[in-house]
Structure 1
Amino acid sequence: MVSANPRLLPWPGPAGQRSYLATDDGNSPLSQLADEMEEVQLQTGAELLDHAAKMLENQKANALELRFLSARLCEALRDALRVAESRGERLPEPGDEDAERRGLPTSASGTSG
């Protein structure tokens, strides 16, 4: 089944372009791989952030080490932003009746009175 809203994948295409998956099957092998990759990217970013905090406390860290750290932090932030964008695009619109029928949460809360 082809989705009207393709999923932004957590890795770039062969030429560095944005890659999308056009399916509504969140359990497809590629969807599951993308979910796993997002988790790895977020965990790696969290670990890098912990490492960065420790390195910045070390007054002996040299410029080369700090430049390397900065480059890795930029990569981790880029990955995290891509994950956030991908997940945000997959959230149902407020009042999405089709999402409600499928049991997905919507951002609409409460009842109108």
Structure 2
Amino acid sequence: MGFELRPAQALRLLHRTSLSQARSQAPDLTLRQTAILLTIYLEPPPHTVRGLAARLNVTKPVITRALDTLGRMDLIERRRDDADKRSVLVRRTPAGSLYVARMADQFVEEAGALAS
């Protein structure tokens, strides 16, 4: 990034981006759902329910509920791991990739507005 953010600016960036997302036609995600989605898209796979629960320090049912919602929105998909039938792999989708890319674009746009 070409500039440093002070704490108040960082909060303003989060606020402006959140407002932009809330006003858009894109699905509304909770902060936890967003954290899970970004973990899936920004950290290397494979992703499992167990692994996501450990990474976010929450229970597997918390992850399962969030994945249910993200799956209904077509932002992720779940499949049984052929190598370990007890494990469920969480995968990216084209719609999810587009959602995350648009989210990134919103942050860049709002950061640019703060910098000017």
Which TM-score applies when normalising by structure 1? 0.31
Larger Rg: 1
Give the helix-richer structure, 1 or 2: 2
Which TM-score applies when normalising by structure 2? 0.30
Higher relative contact order (CA 8 A, sep 6+): 2
